[in-house]
Amino acid sequence: MSWRSAARRPWSLRAASLLVVAGVALTACQSAGTPGNSPTARPSSPGSSGTPGSAQPSAPGTSGSNNPAKPSTNEGTGKVKPPKRKGYSIRYGPNRTARVALTFDDCPRSLAEEKEVLRGATDLGIGLMLFPTGSCIRSKTFDPEFARNLGHYVFNHSNTHPLLTRLSYSGVLSQLGPPGVQSSYGRPPFGGWNSTVARAYAAKGMRMWLWSVDTNDWKGYSEATVVKYVIRTARAGDTVLMHMHWNGFSVDALRKMQAGLAKRGLEVCRNSGTPTPVRSTDVYC
Ligand SMILES: [Zn+2]
């Protein structure tokens, strides 16, 4: 596992350097956007609503809720209330169902790994939401068409994974352009956005889809720890953030998450069994 950790650190290193620059506590794709943002410009971002990592020192696997702002848990009841969202929201994207969206960012370790995990997910009937960087696609470490053909969604995650709030409007537009996928949803790196970033997303015809559960998998937690955290923490309709180069991205992990959540009466987003479109505001879950 240590070799693996060493080989899988690019974004966490970047996050760490941003931490120094910003002088705030960061989580992987999370709070880096906060400094410099007007609080009023991002009313429903995870950082401002107290959800994922922002004020959250506890690691996955420790006790305590990751979502203190959320209402009552469904844990142990076997009953899952559908969320009350009527439409798109920045944390939950277009998912209005009670199913849990499993999302993976950045880049797998290899194209072979992408194919293995995505085939396995499809066999399990799971539809994943994938946010590869343009660099990952250009290096042919991730094949968007392969993913779509297996019933998974592929969304934009910038080209080189910068903190978009530090860029000009034209700089953001460039980051959201090819070779990154030109999709209907996109996730800004580190979850960082401001009004300029929002304007660029709108110009690209994309809506931002952040997350409601942050596994912090990039810290190198074992597969078992990430799996346990997802099973314990996810609630109806949640969007779970993980990364393709870390330990939640395996067929075994997906199978265990699916089974563990099922014991709590929760389903994960299903796979339609048909190719997904490049652009669509509706997402099958
Ligand atoms: Zn990322």
Q: How far is the CA of 87 from the centre of ligand 1 (A)?
A: 25
| pLDDT tens column, 118-150 | 999 999 999 999 999 999 999 999 999 999 999
Q: How far is the CA of 79 from the centre of ligand 1 (A)?
A: 33
Please tell me the distance from the alpha carbon of residue 27 to that of residue 248, in angstroms, as a whole number: 17
pTM of this structure: 0.77
Please tell me the distance from the alpha carbon of residue 87 to that of residue 69, in angstroms, as a whole number: 20
Cα–Cα separations (whole angstroms), residue 268 to 186, 222, 226, 281: 20, 21, 16, 19
- pLDDT at position 213 is 98
Q: How far is the CA of 191 from the centre of ligand 1 (A)?
A: 8
pLDDT > 70 fraction of the chain, expressed in percent and rounded: 72
Q: How far is the CA of 166 from the centre of ligand 1 (A)?
A: 16
| pLDDT tens column, 197-247 | 999 999 999 999 999 999 999 999 999 999 999 999 999 999 999 999 999
CB of 212 closer than 8 Å to CB of 51: yes
Q: How far is the CA of 131 from the centre of ligand 1 (A)?
A: 8
Kindly report the backbone phi and psi dihedral angles of residue 59, in degrees, each rounded to the nearest multiple of 5, phi listed first.
Answer: -85, 160
DSSP 33: G
Q: How far is the CA of 29 from the centre of ligand 1 (A)?
A: 5
Q: How far is the CA of 122 from the centre of ligand 1 (A)?
A: 23
